[in-house]
Each structure stands twice: as structure tokens, then as C-alpha cells.
Structure 1
Amino acid sequence: MSIGRFVQDYSGPGDDMRLRIRDLREDRDLTQKEIADYLLCDQSLYSKYERGERPLPLELAVRLAQFYGTSVDYLVGLTRNKTPYR
């Protein structure tokens, strides 16, 4: 990948997380409302997490990682490996 393409595709440090939490949800055919209910928050707030308009609190990132069977490192883009640490 060229640096120009990388810069074009990457919009900031929260970019990976917002894309990954949306993709994980959509891969499981879940609605934002269902995930918001699991996290005990309002759907509109969860939507802001997915759009990168609000930072996802660490506690909720941990709960999402557990729910999806992955690691927080994967959610925030520190690794491409979906498998959680053992």
C-alpha cells in the first residue's frame, strides 16, 4: 500500500475502532439497538460511538471485546488478529 493510499483511507486514531465495532455488529446481523441494550446505553449514544462522534469508554470497549470474542487491541486497531489473548 502506498503512503498516499494509507493517508486517504485513514482518518484518525479512532477510525479503526469505529469501523471494527460496526463491522463486528453487522457480521452478526445485530442492530445498534441490540448492542446498546447489551451495553446498557441508549441507541443514539451507541450510534455516536460507531460514527466516531463520541469516544468509546474503556469499560464498554472491554464489554464489546468479550461479547464478540476478540480483544480490545483488535477493536482499537493495534492488531489485525481477532483472536483474544489467552
Structure 2
Amino acid sequence: MNRLKELRKQKGLTLVELGKKVNLANNTLSQYERGVREPKLKTWEKLANFFGVSVAYLIGESNIKEPYNKWSKADFLYSEYLRLSDKLETEYEAYLSEFSDKIKDINTIENPNDDENTLNHRIGKTFNLLFQAEKDLLEYKQKHIELEIKQSERLARYEDRTGE
């Protein structure tokens, strides 16, 4: 959870007042505060500079309040990576739960009078789901690897520019 609302209230500002000071629409700021919409890095930097805090502090990824410095962008990049990684994990957990429910649905309709064809059909559906799950797991792992590569490349470009 970001700290935008907390910092705005500490300064005694309404959304309209803050919007005028940072040149952003108050409904956009409201969406940022509620986590409905995610600002771009430049917007986080603008807001962090206005409040005199680090971007990492503003987005809630660090308790270090110091204003923006050369490490803030690296911190932000890492925080963004963690956020996207967590999002992938959450999506995959939801997928696994849905998968588990599908397997249960297939196998709880068992009837003692089921013939061999019905049982074979049920087994076939279960295996199809398992193969699909394996394929989806590989796609999830690929997305995660791509995210890690992208993060490494972004940090490398940042380090090249800053000499760190």
C-alpha cells in the first residue's frame, strides 16, 4: 500500500489542492491512493519530490524517508520487480485453486453405476487438465524468467548511466 494519502493528510491537503500543486487530476490522485491505478515512475518521482521523500518510501516498499537520491530509482526498479513477481504468484495461486476445483468437479460426480466408458472419459478429462496445467506452469515459469531478465537489464542500464 502506498503512502500517498497519509502524506497528503499530514500536509493538510485535499485531493483537489494536491492536484493543483502537482498538476494532476484529483480523481487520478484518488485512484493512486486507493491502489486502483498505478502511476508511472515519473509521476512517483514528482509526488516524492513534492513530499520530500524517497520514491521507495512513497510506494510503501521502504521505511527510508530520505528524499529522492541516486539509489531511489534502483530501489523503485527493484520494488516494481517485486510487485510484478508477487502479481504473477497471486495469479498462479488463483489458477491452481481453479484447477483444483475443476479436478474435484470431474471426480466428485462418481456414480456406482458408471460404466467403463464413463470412467475412462472422466480419467481422460483429468489427464487433459493435468497436461494443460503442466503447459500453464511452464508459461508461468517463462513469464517469471522474462521478468527477471527484464529487471536485470533495467538495473544494468541504470548502473551504466550512473556509474554505480
Whether these two folds match at TM > 0.5 is yes
What is the aligned counterpart of 1:84 among 67, 82, 95? 67
Verify the 8 A CA contact 1:74 1:81 in the aligned structure 2. Answer: yes
Verify the 8 A CA contact 1:39 1:60 in the aligned structure 2. Answer: no
Q: Which runs of 5+ in 2 are unaligned?
A: 70-164
Verify the 8 A CA contact 2:4 2:33 in the aligned structure 1. Answer: yes
SS at match of 2:13: coil
Change (3 A) 1:42 1:85: closer
Verify the 8 A CA contact 1:62 1:72 in the aligned structure 2. Answer: yes
Aligned pair count reads: 69
Percent identity between the two aligned chains: 36
> Is 1:72 the counterpart of 2:50 in the alignment?
no
Query: Matched residues in 2 for 1:44 and 1:85: separation?
Result: 25
Structure 1 residue 41, shift from structure 2 partner: 2.3
Structure with larger RCO (C-alpha < 8 A, sep 6+): 1
Which residue in the other structure is 1:54 paired with?
37
Structure 1 residue 85, shift from structure 2 partner: 5.3
Which residue in the other structure is 1:38 paired with?
21
- CA RMSD in angstroms, aligned pairs only: 1.5
Identify which range, 34-43 or 71-80, moves more after superposition. Answer: 34-43
Verify the 8 A CA contact 1:70 1:83 in the aligned structure 2. Answer: yes
Structure 1 residue 73, shift from structure 2 partner: 1.0
Structure 1 residue 71, shift from structure 2 partner: 0.5
CA displacement, residues 12-60 of structure 1 (integer Å, 9 cap, x when unaligned): xxx2x1xx10000000101101111223222111111111111112111
Of structures 1 and 2, the larger Rg is shown by 2
Runs ≥4 residues deviating over 3 A: none
Q: Which has the higher helix share?
A: 2
